Chain A
Amino acid sequence: MSRDTLSRPEPVTPRRARRETRGPRRRASRTGARNARAAAAFVLPFFALFALCFLAPIGYALHQSLFTTERTGPLGLGGQEREVFAGLANYAQALSDDRFLTGFGRVLAFGAVQIPLMIVLATALALLLESASARAVPFFRSAFFLPYGVPGVIASILWGFLYVPGISPLVKIAGSVGWDLDFLSRGTVLWSLANIVTWQFTGYNMLVLIAQLKAVPGELYEAARIDGANAWQVARHLKIPLIRPALVLTGVFSIIGTLQLFAEPMVLRPLASSIDSGFTPNLHAYSEAFVGNNPHAAAAEAVLLALVACVLSFGFLRLVGGRTKERG
C-alpha cells in the first residue's frame, strides 16, 4: 500500500500537504489501533490457553520442586501434613540418584543409535517413494505411515508378544535353528525398545520429508537432468540439501521424543525383569510420583528432564545451524 502511494507523487501546496500529512497519519493510527485490537482478539485466546496449559503447569512444577512434605502426628500417620520450602534439596537428591542418572545415560545411548538410524531410513524411503513412478506409491506411503497411527502402548503390547519367549514366533524360529534369541535381556532390551520406536516413527518422519520434497520446484530437477545428473546425483546434491530444514526438524523432534521415552518401557516392564523402575528418566519421575508418592521429587526430575531436552535441542540446532553459515 505504501509503495503504491509513493509511486504516484503529486504536486502539493504546503497547506494541502499539511492537511494530507495529518490526515493519513491520523487515519493510519486509527486503523493501526483497530488492527491491534483485532489482532489482540485473535491472539488472546492463544495466549490464554498458552498461559493456562503451558506456563501455569511449568510454574507449578517449578514451585512444587522447591518444596517438601513435613508430617506430624503419631508415627506420621493420620496427622498434619505441611509443605515446607526445601530450596534445591529435591534437585540435589535427583542428581545424586544413580538410577536417575543412569537412565539419562541410557536414553542418550538410545538416541545416539536410534535417531540417525531412523532418519537415514526415513530419508531413504522418502527419496525412493518420490522418485518411483509406479502406481503403488500412495499405497506404500500409507503403509509406511500406518504404524504411526498405532498408539505407543498398543505398539508395545504387539511387539511384546513378539519378544516374550514361549510365545514369540521369532524366538521359536530362531530356537529351531539353534539360535538362542533373548529380546528382553539386560543387554538387548534397550535395542528391542529402539526397534519399536523406529517401527513407529520412521513413516511419520518420512512423510515430513516427503512434504518438503514436494515443495521443491520441478524446474530444479529438470535443470539437473539437462546438466546430465543421474538419479543418485540428484538425490545427493539436490534433494538432500534441499530437505535439510525438514531433516533438522525431524532430528529435533526425535531428540525430544527420545528423552521422553516412557510408554514403551512402561508396557514391557511387567514382561521383562531387565527394565527397572528408573529405566528412563521419565519412568523414574513416574515412579517417584506415583509409587513413591513424592510429587515434589518428581517435579524436580521433570524440570531437569525438560532442561536437558532444551539444552540438547538447542545444542543440536546450534550445531547444524553453524554448518549452514560456514557453507553460505
Chain B
Amino acid sequence: MTSNAMHRRTVLGGAAALAAGFTLAGCGDGDDGQAPEERKKGQKISLTFWSWVPGIDKPVDLWNRTHPDVQVKVEKVSAVNGQQYAKMHAAIKAGNPPDLGQIEFPVVPSFLLDNGLLDLAPLGAGRHKGKFSGWQWQQSVFGKSVYAIPQASGPMGLFLRQDLFDKWDVPVPRTWDEYETAAEAVRKKGAWIETFAPTNGNRFSGLAWQAGAKWYATHGDTWIVHLDDEPTRRVADYWESLVRRKLVKTIPDRQNAWYKDLQTGAIPAWVGASWGDALLVGNAPGTKGKWRAAPLPQWKAGEQAFANWGGSTTAVFAKARYPKDALDFAVWLNTDPESIALLIDGGYGFPSAKKGYTTTDLDVDKDFFGGQAYSKIFADAGAHVDTSWRWGPGVDTLYQRLGDAFTDALADGSSFRSVLTKVQGQTLADLKGKGLKVESGG
C-alpha cells in the first residue's frame, strides 16, 4: 500500500470519528409553521401516543373500539435511564414528535423549556380540573397554562418479605431509626435489607420530599433551587451511614441483579411506591403470598409524612395535529371508569382521578401480598403527601448529576453531604446555562 492510499484511508477513518457529530447534528429545527387542524365532523384521524406504562394498550384498544373516528396508536418507548425523554426531546427538536406522550410530573418543566408541550388551557382544559385530585392537577399548571392531564401518582411505602422478617424476628420498622435497627438485624442473618441505588435520583428526591425538603421554588421570574437544605442533608447522612456500615447493597435497583436478590430473599425489603406491586409480582412470582406493604418509616414516631415517587401525566405535544381530539383522549384515558379499571389492572400507579375506582379495585395483586388490602397503605400515604412540593426545569439532568456524584462518593469515600453541595452548584450553573434566572435558596 502506498503512503497516498494510507492517507486516504485515514481521512475516511477520521470521517468515521466525526460520525459522533453526525448523530448529534443530524436533526434540524423543522419548524414548518403548520397550523393545527380542526377535525371535520366524520373525518377519520389517527393520533400517536408514546408510552411505557405496562398494560396501556388495553384502555387504548377500548378507546379505539368506542371512538372509530379518532384512532390512537400506542408506540412503546423504553423507560430505562430516562431514554423515553431523550427520545421525546430529540423528536421535538427534529420537529416530528408524537401527538401525545406519557410524561412524569418531575420532567414536565423540562419539556416546557423547549416549548414541547401544548398549553391546554385555551382548549378548555380547565373544565376538567374538578375531576382530578387537586395537587396533582397543579403539578402541570404554570401560571394560567395547563400543560398536561394527570394520570397517576406514586405514593411511597415500604414493601417487605413478612415471612423472612418473622423468621428472623425483625419487627416491621415504623421509624427510620427502627429501619436502621432492622437493617442491622437482617445483615446479621446474611442478607441486606435493601439497596441504595446511587443512580436513582427519583427515589432520593422522594425521600427528601418526605423529610420536608423543597428543592424548587419560584420568586417572580426567578427559579430558586435549594437541594442542599437541612431535610435533604438528613436523608443523605442517614443513607450514607447505612452504606458505610455495609448494611445496604449499592447495586442498581429494578435491574436483573436486584430482581434476582428479591427472588432469593437476599434483599427482603424495598422502599418503593404504589406502582411497585406490579414490579414485584412480575419479577418475583415465586415469592407470592410472602410480601406485605407497610407505611413509609417516619422521621418522628407517630408522624404522617409521606412522599411521591414518580407519577405521570398524559401530555399533548406542541405539534399535535388535532389538539382538541388529543385532549379529549387524554381526559378520557384518565377519567373514564372502564379505562381506569384497565389501567389499574396493568399496574400503572395510583389514579389521579377522584372518581371511577375504589381502593379495593387497586388491590389487584392481593394474593401476592397474602390477602392484605395493601392499597389502603398507599391511599393513606397519598392523602398525606406534602402537596407544596414543586418541580423545576432540568430534573432529568439533576438526577443524572446526583447519580454521578453518588457514584463518585461511593468510590472515593467522599461524604453524601458533599454530593449535595456539588450538585446544588452544578444545577445553578445548568439552569443559568439554559438562559434562566436562578438563585440559590437560603
List residues of chain A with CB under 8 Å of any chain B CB: 54, 57-58, 60-61, 64, 68-71, 74-78, 81, 93, 99, 161, 164-167, 186, 245, 248-249, 252-253, 256, 259-260, 269-274, 276-278, 282, 285, 287, 289-295, 297-299, 302-303, 305-306, 309-310, 313-314, 317, 321
Contacts and interface: CB of A to CB of B under 8 A. Distances in A.
Given A54-B18, A164-B257, A166-B260, 16 more contacts: A58-B21, A75-B218, A75-B221, A76-B436, A77-B142, A78-B142, A81-B114, A249-B9, A252-B10, A256-B17, A260-B19, A270-B80, A270-B255, A271-B255, A299-B21, A302-B18
A34 B19 CA distance: 36
Contacts of B261: 166
B99 interface: no
B435 A76 contact: yes
A75 B142 contact: yes
B20 A274 contact: no
Instruction: Name the residue in B20, B86, B114, B396 with the highest tally of chain A Cβ atoms < 10 Å from its Cβ.
Output: B20
Interface stretch (B285-293, B365-373, B399-407): B399-407
Contact of B6 (A70, A245, A278): A245
A165 to B, nearest CB: 6
A186 B110 contact: no
B436 A306 contact: no
Contacts of A75: 142, 218, 221-223, 436-437
A249 B250 CA distance: 43
A271 B260 CA distance: 13
A287 B398 CA distance: 12
Given A75-B436, A302-B21, A277 B403 contact: yes
Interface stretch (B22-30, B158-166, B229-237): B22-30
B180 interface: no
A285 B437 contact: no
Contacts of B198: 273
A273 B6 contact: no
B252 A272 contact: yes
Interface of B, secondary structure class, is helix
A71 B223 CA distance: 13
Contacts of B129: none
Interface string B260-278: 1100101000000000000
Instruction: Name the residue in B197, B218, B257, B264 with the highest tally of chain A Cβ atoms < 10 Å from its Cβ.
Output: B257
A116 to B, nearest CB: 18
Contacts of B408: 276
B279 interface: no
Contacts of A93: 433
A317 B25 contact: no
Contacts of B439: none
B16 interface: yes
Contacts of A270: 80-81, 252, 255
B3 interface: yes
Given A271-B252, A274-B407, A290-B86, A78 B112 contact: yes
Interface residues of B, number: 72
B24 A299 contact: yes
A68 B20 CA distance: 19
A271 B257 contact: yes
A245 B1 contact: yes
Nearest to A60: B25
Contacts of B81: 269-270
Nearest to B261: A166
A186 B411 contact: yes
Nearest to B90: A290
A61 B113 contact: no
A256 B14 contact: yes
A256 B16 contact: yes
A58 to B, nearest CB: 6
B255 A57 contact: no
B359 interface: no
Interface of A, secondary structure class, is helix
B250 to A, nearest CB: 6
A293 B89 contact: yes
Shortest 9 CB-CB contacts between residues of A and residues of B:
A309-B17, A290-B86, A61-B21, A166-B260, A71-B435, A302-B21, A61-B25, A245-B1, A76-B436
Interface in B387-417: 393-394, 396-397, 400, 403-404, 407-408, 410-411
Nearest to A160: B256
B430 interface: yes
Nearest to A289: B24
A58 B18 contact: yes
B434 to A, nearest CB: 7
B109 interface: yes
Given A75-B436, A77-B393, A306 B18 contact: yes
22 contacts: A58-B25, A74-B142, A77-B142, A77-B393, A78-B115, A78-B119, A166-B257, A167-B256, A167-B257, A249-B1, A270-B81, A271-B252, A273-B410, A278-B404, A282-B20, A295-B24, A299-B21, A306-B14, A306-B17, A313-B13, A313-B14, A317-B10
Nearest to A281: B20
Given A166-B256, A256-B16, A290-B90, A77 B113 contact: yes
A249 B145 CA distance: 59
Interface string B292-320: 00000000000000000000000000000
A25 B406 CA distance: 78
A227 B199 CA distance: 65
Interface string B91-134: 00100000000000000011011110001000000000000000
B33 interface: no
B15 interface: yes
A58 B26 CA distance: 10
A71 B404 contact: no
A291 B114 CA distance: 13
Interface in B230-256: 250-252, 255-256
Contacts of B90: 289-290
